[in-house]
Each structure stands twice: as structure tokens, then as C-alpha cells.
Amino acid sequence: MKVLTSSFESYDKHEYAKSAVLYVLNHFKPNLHKKSFGKHYQKKTTIDLFPDEQPDLFKLISSEIDHIAKTVGLNADWFSTDEYMKLWKKNFTQFLGENIEIQESLDSFESNSDDVNAQFEMIIDSLSRLSLLLKTSYDEWHQKSMAEFLESDLPFELYNLYNLSYIEKISVIRSQVGDLMRLRNMLHLVRSNDKKIKSELAKFEQRNYATSQLLTSVSRSELTLKFYLRSKNAQSLDDLFKTIPLKLDVNSDKQFNVYFNSFRDNLSVFTNFVDRKYLYEDIALNSSNSESFVDFDEKLRTVILKHG
Amino acid sequence: MVKAKKIAVCIDSSLLLAEVFGNETHSSRSGNIEKLEKIFPFKKYMSETVKKEVENRLKVIICLIGDVSKEFISDYRAFKGVNPKILLSDLPFIESFFKNLKSKYPVNKSERQIIENIESVLVNYLIENSHKKNPPNIPAFVVSAMVEFNKISSKIQFDFLTKSGGYKILPKIVNPATCQKLRGEPKLQKTVQRKPDDIQILCEVEAFQQSSEKKCLLATLDHKDMLNNSSLIESLIGIKCLDPLYLANEFP
């Protein structure tokens, strides 16, 4: 029998889309400057959304992988962060090559524009394209995920949580886009009032800080778990990037439960934080496409209610 | 009467189960707390034991769905061998697979009901797909069936996470004297034997009432163990158990 996972591509484009989101979000570091204009050197406040130094995606990913590899205690002779990053870069280049619209939007950040409207446009446009990509490739991702489940020796519950995490990340990106659009409009309305500009930025940053903290926690715990499982089943560096059958031996069970519970707890907090407006729209992605499954949900709930 | 701010509405497992998995009748009762929240400024809580009890029940069922569907798919793929298409003539294989599996469980067991439901959706799914213009090959069929199972289980997990997230969690702290009092009460012996977690939940709520100086009410849909013994429980540990429908009566 042919292994089901072998029908799927060797690199996981969804992980690269999520990394691209991280890269875009790292551009949002607003600063206020006083600039002189005109003959009378009139001073005006300008806003610069971007940090002085361009975020380095490879550094971000490299330090994350380094941290995770240390956490899970991966000591295989075929693994080093540098070698891992070489393959990561190769796959990321392939991902951008296959998704030109994402590449274009990420390239626009290199223009170093200091026009705040253009900066807003770049962030909003990139995040919108990335959330759309994640949405349109959901079915493909889900099939790949289920092929992995069928060939692996892992609890079904884990795959329920991967599914929710995937959908909730789309919601959080869309919610960031909504917040950024609101901020752009508000900053335009209060453009001549420094105090109000600061207050609007502070309000946004407070919410944004909470979002990135929770997004980081859930992503890190998920990535740690995935990395742990793959590293336990990998024979070479290449296997860390592939969808392969994942088995747990007796010695890995305890550690697996630690990472699994951490992911579950973080996802639970995240689920209750994500803006309900987007979450309830995006959970529709999870709707069944088949008539045969229509009342399975209800029947299942009745049994669970009576069980025990 | 105690001010609404000083009231803590706690729930037991019967109420959380009804909120997450209940039908309309259940939801109208459990949803009453949500309606009252809009009128009175109280906080709602559940103990760690309640959350764990429901989480474990969900875990068992989800695990069963995963195991049964995976076992079926593995046997089905082995049965089909090199024959790449799904066919209506595969139905006897499904029938025989589930006949064997069902024989391991008594008719009224929830495991048996889940297996019967899985059997029914798989048969219908095969018929639905074999009638398509281009019927899927076996790998595509089994993966897409699994996607459907995952969607439904995920939705249930989602409801559990969102609904349980609306409650603050009580610590797993109890006063040993309270537990002893409840466990020693002759009229509660059936509950002590059958549902020890219910006693634990009552103790956790009582400990919270002591430490928080709030008036704790335990909303429940469990008539047998909680509501029918409400006066007794209140006289023993000072916790009132009540149907959420009548919660409003406790607010000023």
C-alpha cells in the first residue's frame, strides 16, 4: 500500500505563510517625529510606522528554531541550526516563487518609504494577501494533515487542535487588518493633535501587544510540539520539513504530553481572545462539504451528553 | 439580600455539558445564566474538576472516533489492494467490518452508538461519492472522509473551548472538614459512591465561598444528586444548589 503522506508536497507552504506574517508584523514599530516644513520652518508631527532597522526574517526564525531545538533537546549529528536555515531559506524561496503576489507585497517593504499612508498600505496589503492564501489553501492543508494522522500514531484530538489553530490564525490576521484600518482612519481624523495621535497609538499598541504575545505563545507551543514529533521520527534534516508518519515510543510519551498540554492551554486562551466577529466567520471554513455528515454533529453531541 | 456583585454563580458538570453539547431544551436552561449576566453584575465560575470531567468525556469520544475511523480505513485499504476506485460493491465489506466491531459493545453503551453513527456516515459517504461523475480513488476518499470527521470533532472542541472560556476557574482547594461532613451524610451515600466528583465540586465551591467572602450559588441541572438534595446540602455546607431557570430569584 502506498503511504498516504507521500502524495503531498515535501515542504509545508502554510508554515512559510505564517513566517511571512511574523515578518510583516515586525515592521509595525510606530514612532513620532517632529519635522520642519516650508520657509518658516514650521514644525509638524509625522508618524513613521516602520522601525529604523529592517526586521530580519531569517534571524527571527533562526533564533526561534535554535530555542526550540534546545527545548526539545535535539542532539542528532545531522542537525545544526545553520544547516536547518539553509533548507528553510530554500523552501521559503520556493514558496515565494510559487506565490508571486506574496513576494511582491513583501518586496515592497524594501522601498523604505517614510510616507505613513504607504506604510499602512504595505502592511494591510501583505496581511490581507497572506490571510487569503491561508484561507484558499485550507482544504489542501487539511487533507495533508489527515494523511499524516492516518499514517501516524498520535491522538485525533491533536489534529482537532491543529485545525482550530490554523483557522484562528486566519482570524487573528484579519482582525489585525481591521484594527490597522481603524487606526489609519483615526490617525487621519486627529492628524493635527499630537496628544490624540499618541493616545490612539497607545490604545492600538496595548491591544497589539496582547495579540502578539498570545500569538507568539500559541505558535511557539505548536511549533515545539511539531518539531519534537518530527525530530523523534526524522532520519535526516530533510525529514524535519516533510509530512511523514509520526510514531511515539514509550519514552517519548511523557514529553509529548507536556508539549501537547501546553499547546492545548495556549490555544484555549487564544481562542477566547480572538475577536469573535472574525472567529465566527472563519470557523465556517470548518463546515462540512458532505450531505452524509450533516446530522453526525448532532448525534455525536447527544451521545457525549449521555455518556458516562 | 446579598448584593449581586457579592454573588458568585458556580456551575457543575451537568450545566457545562448542557451548554456545550445540549439540545435546544438544555440550552434554554443553561443559557439563562448568560441572560442574567446582562442584567445583574455577578461573576460566573467553574471548578477545575468540572472542566476536567467534561474535557475527559470529550477526550474519550474523540479518541474513539479517531481509532474507529483509522482502523476502518486501514482495513478498507488493505481489502481494496490495488483496486483504485470506490464501488457500491464495497458495502458488504463495511457491513462486515462494523458487525464485528459492534459485537464488542453492549447495545446501550455510548461507544456502540458512536460506532453505529460512524458506520452510518461512512456508508452514506461511500454512496454519495460513488455516484459522482468522477468517483475519487481510495486514498482521496479515505483522506476526505477523515477531513469530515476532523471538522466535526474540531467544531465540538471549539464549542468546548469558547464556552468553558467564559468561566473563571476555581482552584482545586477544599476544606477537609466540609468533605468529611458531606461524605458522612447517610442521605448522600449514593452520590458519594456513584459520583465522587460531585462531592469534590461542592467542596471546592464551599472553599471558594469561605476564601472569597462571596455568596456562592451552584447552578445545576442534576436533579438526582444535586437539586433533590438542595435543602440538605445547604443546611450542611451553606451552598445553595438551584436550577439556572430560577437563579434570578437570588438577586436583589
Show the cell assigned to A140.
Answer: 489542501
For the segment B55-111, what is each residue's pLDDT rounded down to a tens digit?
A: 999 999 999 999 999 999 999 999 998 778 899 999 999 999 999 999 999 888 889
User: Residue A304: which of B58, B78, B150 has the nearest Cβ?
Assistant: B58
In this structure, the answer to whether residues B173 and B241 fall within a common structural domain is yes
In this structure, the answer to whether residues B156 and B84 fall within a common structural domain is yes
Question: H or E stretch including A199?
Answer: helix A194-233
The pLDDT of B131-148, averaged and rounded, is 92
**How many CB atoms neighbour CB A14 within 10 A?**
19
Q: Where are the alpha helices (DSSP H) in chain B?
A: 13-21, 24-37, 48-80, 91-102, 110-130, 138-164, 176-184, 189-194, 196-212, 230-237
Domain count across chain B: 2
Closest to B157 measured CA to CA, from B251, B20, B25, B52:
B20
In this structure, the answer to whether residues B62 and B160 fall within a common structural domain is yes
Show the cell assigned to A181.
Answer: 484600518
In this structure, the answer to whether residues B133 and B96 fall within a common structural domain is yes
Q: Do A160 and B26 make contact, defined as CB atoms within 8 angstroms?
A: no
Residue B238 predicted with pLDDT over 80: yes
In this structure, the answer to whether residues B192 and B219 fall within a common structural domain is yes
In this structure, the answer to whether residues B136 and B66 fall within a common structural domain is yes
Q: Do A160 and B77 make contact, defined as CB atoms within 8 angstroms?
A: no
Residues of chain B contacting residue A7, judged by C-beta atoms under 8 Å apart: 139
pLDDT in the model for residue B132: 87
pTM above threshold 0.90? yes
Cβ(A122)–Cβ(A109) under 8 Å? yes
The secondary structure of A58-81 as a DSSP string is HHHHHHHHHHHHHHHT---TT--H
Contact residues for A257 (Cβ-Cβ < 8 A; gap 6+): none
Q: Do B125 and A268 make contact, defined as CB atoms within 8 angstroms?
A: no
Residue B26 predicted with pLDDT over 80: no
Please give chain A's pLDDT, 308 residues, in tens.
Answer: 667 877 776 678 889 999 999 999 999 988 888 776 666 666 777 889 999 888 999 999 999 999 999 999 998 999 999 999 999 999 999 999 999 999 999 999 988 788 999 999 999 999 999 999 999 999 999 999 999 999 999 999 999 999 999 999 999 999 999 999 999 999 999 888 889 999 999 999 999 899 999 999 999 999 999 999 999 999 999 999 989 999 998 889 999 999 999 999 999 999 999 999 999 999 999 998 899 998 899 999 988 888 75
In this structure, the answer to whether residues B243 and B187 fall within a common structural domain is yes
Q: Do A286 and B151 make contact, defined as CB atoms within 8 angstroms?
A: yes
ipTM: 0.92
Q: Does B161 touch chain A (CB under 8 A)?
A: yes
Predicted confidence band of residue B251 (pLDDT cuts 50, 70, 90):
confident
B171 secondary structure, DSSP code:
P
CA dist., res. B207 & res. B167, Å (int)? 17
Nearest-by-CA chain B residue for A160: B154
In this structure, the answer to whether residues B154 and B173 fall within a common structural domain is no
Cβ(A235)–Cβ(A77) under 8 Å? no
Q: Could you tell me the residue range of the domain that residue B189 belongs to?
A: 4-49+166-250
CA distance A254 to chain B (A): 17
pLDDT in the model for residue B30: 78
In this structure, the answer to whether residues B68 and B148 fall within a common structural domain is yes
Q: Do B110 and A303 make contact, defined as CB atoms within 8 angstroms?
A: yes
B242 secondary structure, DSSP code:
E
In this structure, the answer to whether residues B229 and B133 fall within a common structural domain is no
